[in-house]
A and B are shown apart, each in its own frame.
Chain A
Amino acid sequence: MAQTVFAPWDNPDEKPLIQFKNVTKRFGDFTAIDNLTQDIYTREFFALLGPSGCGKTTMMRMLAGFENPSEGQILIAGQDMAGVPPNKRPVNMMFQSYALFPHLSVWDNIAFGLRREGAEKTQLAARVEQMLKLTRLERFARRKPHQISGGQRQRVALARSLAKAPKLLLLDEPLGALDKKLRQDTQFELMDIQEKTGTTFVIVTHDQEEAMTVASRVAVMDEGRIMQVATPAVIYEQPNSVYVADFIGDVNIIEGAATPHPQADGYSVAWAEGQPQFHAKTNRSFAPGQKCFLALRPEKVAISAEPPEEAANRIQGKIIDIAYLGNISTYHVRLPNGTMMKAQTANTRRLSRRSLTWEDAVWLSWTDTAAAVLEG
C-alpha cells in the first residue's frame, strides 16, 4: 500500500497555518529574534531546537500572545495576530512548569478552558472525560495536582491544553521535568496524541534527541536566527552548516581546502600537510583551494585492525580512549599528525571478545559519501 509522505512544506499549494514574516523581537538592546521568516503547516509537529537564549522560547511566546513582535508580522490561519490577546487566540500552550492550578482538581484543571468558553454542562463533562481518557488520567480526576506524580501532572497539563481543541498547541520543554525513561515513553505518547487529535504542535526544546524523535520538522536556532529547517533525517545527514552538524549528535569536523577531483566526481580535501587527502562527494560546488569543512559522523567511520581494502578514505591511528556505552562504543583515535577522530561501532559481540583495545594501532575508513562537505 502506497503511503503518501507527510510533507506539506514541499507542496506549493498548501497554505501554512503559521507564518512568521520578517519578525524581529528586541528586549532593550538585546535582539532575541532577528528578522525571522518561517512557515509552519497544519498537522505538523514542529520542533524549535537550540541552546538557551537562542530565541526559541521567545518565538513560542509570541505565538501564544505573551510577547509582541517589535517588527514584522505573525499570522495564524491567515489572520494577523497583532493586538490579539492570548485569550482570543486559537492557540493553547503547555507550560514548562505545567502551571497547573494548585487549588483545582485534575478534572477542574482540564475543564478550566472549556468553562471560560461557556461550554454547555454535559458537553463540557463529555469533553473532559474524553481528555482524561486520552491521557489515561480517569482514576486521578478528583485529585489535586500535588497529589499525583510528575508524569501524571505532565499529562494533566497536556489534557488541559488540548481540551479546547486548539488549532495550534505550543509545548514549552514539555518533558524537561521528567526522568529519562519516562521522557522516552512520553515522547511516543505525545506523537500518538498529536496524530489522534490532528492538532498542529510546536515544541520548544533544547534536547536534540527529543526534537529528532517527535518532530516532523526541526528548526535549529542560534542567536535569534533559524540555521536550518528540515526533517530530522535531513538535519542529521545533511546539515547545512558546521553549527547544525555540531549541535545535532556527535560529529568529527575536519577543516581543509577543497580541490575538484579529476577522476571521480567530487573533491579532494587537503586537511593536513603530509597526510593523504580525503575524498568526498557533494552537491555543493567549491572553487579550487576553497576552505571547506568535512562533517563526519563517528558511526560512519569504520575501525579495524587490518587495513581495509577499497575504502575511499582510510587513515591509520592509535586508540587513545574507548567510551563504552553499552550498545555502542566510541573510539578516540589519534591520527599521525595529532588530530583526534571519533569512530563508533555497534557492540554486536560480548565485551570479552572484542579485539581492539587501548594503544592499538588501527585503521579508520569511510566512504566518499559519508562526510558532508560544508562551507562553514
Chain B
Amino acid sequence: MMTHRFLSLTAAAALLASAATAEEVRVYNWSDYIDEALLEKFEAETGIDLIYDVFDSNEVLETKLLAGGSGYDVVVPTGSFLQRQIQAGVFQKLDTSKLTNMGNMWDVIQDRTARFDPDNAYSVNYMWGTTGIGVNTAKVAEVLGEGAPVDSLALIFDPANMEKLQACGVHMLDAPDEVVPAALTYLGLDPNTQEADDLAKAEALLMSVRPYVQKFHSSEYINALANGDICVALGWSGDILQARDRAAEAENGVEIAYNAPKEGALMWFDQMAVPADAPNPDAAHKFINFIMDAQNMAAASNYVYYANGNKASQAFLAEDVIGDPAIYPTAEALANTYIKGPYPPKVQRVVTRLWTKVKSGI
C-alpha cells in the first residue's frame, strides 16, 4: 500500500525547533480520494506531521479495525460498515466542541447518515455517491437500438438485454452489498430485506444473467469502459465519471454516460471517524475539522468528482461538479434513492454464499 508522507522543509525545521511538541496524525482513506495539495496545506497550517495511508476495500479496513491497534487516528469506512463497527465498539464519539466547522454540514446528508450513525455522534460525512449504470452510449445503441433502457436496471437484469450486450461486454461490481440490493430493487422487493425467500429470488435473477457477465470486479471497469473494451458496467458514480473523463481526454471516440437507475439507486456515504484506540484523537479532530472547512472540502470534491456532505462547500464547487446531475442529483432523483444497512452475521453469510454461487456457479 502506498504511503504518502508530506513533510516540507519548513515544517521539518519547525519540528526540530519544537521537538518536544512534535505531533503526528495518521489518516487511512480510500485510494485516489483526495487532492494531495490539501495534505500539505494541513501540515503547514497546523504543524502536525501527517501520515496518509490508503486502502481499496472496506473489508481490509474493517479487518484492521476489528483486530485492534491499527494505529490510525482517522479512518473513512462506508456507512453500512461504519454502523456495524460502531456496534463492535471500534470508534469513539466525536467531541463536537472541537469541530468548529460543524455548521457547514448539509442536513439532507446528515439525516441520511444518521441512519447508520444515530445523531451522527461518531462520524462526519466525507463524500457520497450512488451506485448506478455506466454505458458506452454508441455501442449500447448499436446493440439494443436507440430506445435502450440505459437508465433502468432492466438493462443489466433482463436476460434478453444481457444476451445481446454480452458481445460488447458487461462488468459488475464484485460487491454483494451493492449488487444484491440492486437486484432486489429491480424485482420490486425491499433492498434491505433479510428474508431468505427474497434473497433466493435475487439469487435466481442474478444466476439468469450471470453467463452474460464478463467479469465481476470492483475497479477494472474504469479502464475497460474508457478504452471501449466493455459497453456496460454496474459501478460507483464517481468511478464511471472518471472513466467518462478519461475517454474524453484520450479522444478515442468513446462516450460514457452515467445514470442512476430509475427504479431506485443505492446511495452510499463514506464517513470520517476516529478509532477508540486512536493514538492522537486531538489531532484527529483537527484533521476532520480541517476537511470540514468549506473551501477545503470543495477542493477535494473538485478534484475527485464526488459529491460531499458539506453544504457550505457548494459555494466553492466547480460548475462541472455542482452542475452535473450525475454527481449532485436533482432533488427528485435524490428522493429516488435508498440506503442499505448492514446485514447481521447470519444474513451476511447467506448473502456471501449467494454471491459465491453467482460468481462460481457452486
Q: Do chains A and B touch in the complex (CB under 8 A)?
A: no
